Amino acid sequence: MIKLSKPNIPEIAITAMNDIIRSGQLVHGAECIQFEQELAQYLDVKHAYVVSNGTAALHLALLALDIGPGDSVLVPDFTYPATANVVAMVGATPVIVDVSADTYCLDITALEKAITTWQGPETLKAIMPVHEFGHPADMHAINQLARKHNLFVVEDAACALGAIDGSLKMGVASDIGCFSFHPRKTLTTGEGGLVVTNSDELADKLRRLRNHGMERTDAGMRFFYPGLNYRLTNFQAALGRIQLQQLNGWIQSRKMLAAFYLQKLAPLADAGKLRLPAAHPGHSWQTFMVVLSDKYNRDNLVVQLREAGVETSLGAQSLSTLAIYPNHWNDVHQFAAGANLYKQGLALPFCELYSKAELQQVVDALTKLL
């Protein structure tokens, strides 16, 4: 069976983790601080704090910006629900905006319309773009809209460590950026995440909120405000540090494999059987998802592909389809692109550990079935 993906944990990372476990220094400590310094350098950002997972990073971002009851946050329809869940968990309202059918990221026209036609009753406070599957969202346009309408921007870069748009690194092009180190992401510490900012003031809040609202001073522990425990462990940091050294090479391999898929699947696209993802040059390719034409039943195809030895799955959810959030427009056609990506999206096996020969097997199985 060619699995959807597999975590790439080098042996030396396991050795490094074992050394930390033997040292007895288990919770947040020197290893985490070094990982943070290396991540800050990698991303070219002033402050980087490792946290227990990507959802924790998003939660801290909203808390640090004082977003809560009476506020609303614009989120893309096509994403993992954590993006909107954290908005609801701070007591604010997620406002769902459709995505582009090609990039799978926020549709800028729909975003502008959602902002300019907003009638409340909540106060629009922030835009939370997602760099879906590693494709950079249009941060130039998003930041421009945010400045014009006085909104914060929090990037959900959970699957986009290493994604760039020109010279702009995803996750550091806004007020706060959030990353995940879940096993489905390119760099994994099991559970794990990262929150970054260039603002000294937000950095103080993020760092304290992560650790019970507390900071150690010469006089002992000082509690600034109520907080959480969203710390990462030292042995997870050891796993991540080794992977970070190899990340750029992995992303290069992913780009090469994505180009291979795009070339080999082009005949199916030309025949109108599926659509291929937009190939942005700064895409970090966490996931490779095609979109099947309406004449195919995606879930049936997943079963047939499994029988042919190929594991595939849906790509991400459509928040408007989930129906657990209030829909301020009450018009499902507003989310045509996102709903279709959810219904017809097919994530193919993809990981830097795969060979072209393995991907060719996927292409052959898919070609035969379609």
Ligand X SMILES: *Cc1c(COP(=O)(O)O)cnc(C)c1O
Which of 72, 79, 100, 334 contacts ligand X by CB under 6 A? 79
Copy the structure tokens of residue 73: 């946050």
Q: Which residue number has the CB closest to ligand X? A: 54
Q: Please report whether residue 156 would count as binding ligand X according to CB under 6 A.
A: yes
Q: Is residue 276 near ligand X by the rule CB under 6 A?
A: no
Q: Convert residues 47-66 into a mask of x (bound to ligand X by CB under 6 A) and - (unbound).
A: ------xxx-----------
Q: Does 182 bind ligand X (CB under 6 A)?
A: yes
Q: Does 180 bind ligand X (CB under 6 A)?
A: yes
Near ligand X in 323-352, by CB under 6 A: none
Residues 6+ apart with CB under 8 A from 153: 126, 127, 128, 129, 139, 142, 143, 146, 174, 175
- Pick out residues in 292-311 that bind ligand X (CB under 6 A): none
The least CB distance from residue 357 to ligand X, in Å, is 28
Residue 137 within binding range of ligand X, rule CB under 6 A: no
Listed in sequence order, the DSSP H helices in the chain are 11-23, 30-43, 54-64, 82-89, 108-116, 139-148, 200-210, 234-270, 298-307, 319-322, 336-344, 356-369
Contact flag: residue 159 with ligand X (CB under 6 A)? yes
Quick check: 318 binds ligand X (CB under 6 A)?
A: no
Name the β-bridge partners of 123.
71
* Residue number with CB closer to ligand X (55 or 318): 55
Q: How far apart are the first and last CA of the chain?
A: 20
158 contacts ligand X (rule: CB under 6 A): yes
Contact between 155 and ligand X per CB under 6 A? no
Q: How far apart are CA 124 and CA 74, in angstroms?
A: 8
Q: Minimum distance between the CB of residue 191 and ligand X, rounded to whole angstroms? A: 6
The Cα 46–Cα 216 span in angstroms is 21
Cβ neighbours, 10 Å, residue 368:
10
Q: Which of 95, 47, 209, 71 shows the shortest CA–CA distance to 150?
A: 71
Q: Which of left, alpha, beta for 323 (phi over 0: left; psi -120 to 50: alpha)?
A: left
State the sign of the Cα–Cα–Cα–Cα dihedral 301, 306, 308, 314: positive
By C-beta, is 135 or 275 nearer to ligand X? 135
- CB distance 166 to 138 below 8 Å: no
Told to check if 82 binds ligand X by CB under 6 A, we report yes
Amino acid at 20: I
Residue with tokens 């595939």: 312
What span, in angstroms and rounded, lies between the C-alpha atoms of 280 and 260?
Answer: 15
Q: Nearer Cβ to ligand X, position 171 or 268?
A: 171
| Shortest distance in whole angstroms from residue 185 CB to ligand X | 6
Nearer to ligand X, 39 or 365 (CB): 39
Q: Does residue 210 interact with ligand X by CB under 6 A?
A: no
Looking at the Cβ atoms of 143 and 286, the one nearer to ligand X is 286
Closer residue to ligand X in complex, CB, 268/317:
317
If the CB atoms of residues 287 and 365 are measured against ligand X, the closer one turns out to be 287
Candidates 32-40, 155-163, 241-249, 302-310 — which segment interacts with ligand X by CB under 6 A? 155-163
Provide the token pair at 108.
């800028």
Site for ligand X in 94-113 (CB under 6 A): none
Region of residue 191 (phi > 0: left; psi between -120 and 50: alpha; otherwise: beta): beta
Query: Least distance from C-beta 266 to ligand X, angstroms?
Result: 27
Give the footprint of ligand X on this chain (CB under 6 A): 53-55, 79-80, 82-83, 130, 156, 158-159, 180, 182, 193
